[in-house]
Amino acid sequence: MPRAAGGRDAGTRFTHDPTTGTSAEVRRVQPYEARKTYRCPGCNQEIAEGVAHVVVVPLGEPGERRHWHHGCWAHRSGRPPGR
């Protein structure tokens, strides 16, 4: 995977989430990297193996890492979790 300046993956960015008041690292997962099935906290549906998505890791809390569909992450402030 290409690396950005400073050694980080090009698909990594940091964001402040106004819905939770926390900062997080957001990483894009390409289809060829998605080798497991996960459950998206935004819609409570599965993210199947081989589907591109994002991984959100709250800063200072790596154990709270969650896998989200792109659309669910982008629209999380407009709907309640699990819907």
Express each pLDDT in 7-52 by its tens digit: 446 577 888 876 677 899 999 999 999 999 999 999 999 999 999 9
Model pLDDT, residue 31: 96
pTM: 0.77
Domains in the chain: boundaries: 5-78
Distance CA 4, CA 67 (A): 22
CA distance 29 to 11: 8
Closest CA to 52 of 40, 65, 42, 43: 40
Residue 66 has pLDDT above 50, yes or no: yes
The residue among 5 and 70 whose pLDDT is bigger is 70
Residue 4, pLDDT score: 41
Contact 7, 36 (CB under 8 A): no
